Amino acid sequence: MKQRKAQRLAASAPIDRDVPAQPATTIPPALAGFDSYPDSAYVRLPVVCALFQVSPATIWRWSKSNRIASPRRLSDGVTAWNVGELRKALNGGA
């Protein structure tokens, strides 16, 4: 029964071969230039999440457990991570 319903749904779905496939994810502009940033630069949470491909909660957990460096509070409401320290974490050192 379920198999027939799935076959009907598949048969009724229109197929448009002229539409290009959408990319699975988009790269944030700040992440696209990450390699060109100096080690003294700072990046915000969305870039760190994209860099490690994890959620914000995981980034905060990793910061607390020293898996990655702790962020710096640059001003009220602005917290950022040092690019040089993130590169060390990417290479296996915290």
List the domain boundaries for the chain.
27-89
Containing H/E element for 79? strand 78-82
Which amino acid is located at 28 in the chain?
A: P
Cα-based distances in Å from 17 to 10, 14, 21: 15, 10, 9
Inter-CA distances, 29 with 21, 26, 51, 85, Å: 21, 9, 12, 20
Tell me which of 30-39, 64-73, 74-83 is least confident.
Answer: 30-39
Where residue 32 falls among pLDDT bands split at 50, 70, 90?
Answer: confident
Q: Which two tokens stand for residue 18?
A: 């002229």
Please give the radius of gyration of the chain, using alpha carbons only, rounded to the nearest integer: 21
Q: pLDDT tier at 35 (50, 70, 90 boundaries)?
A: confident
Instruction: Give me the CATH code for the 27-89 domain, please.
Output: 1.10.1660
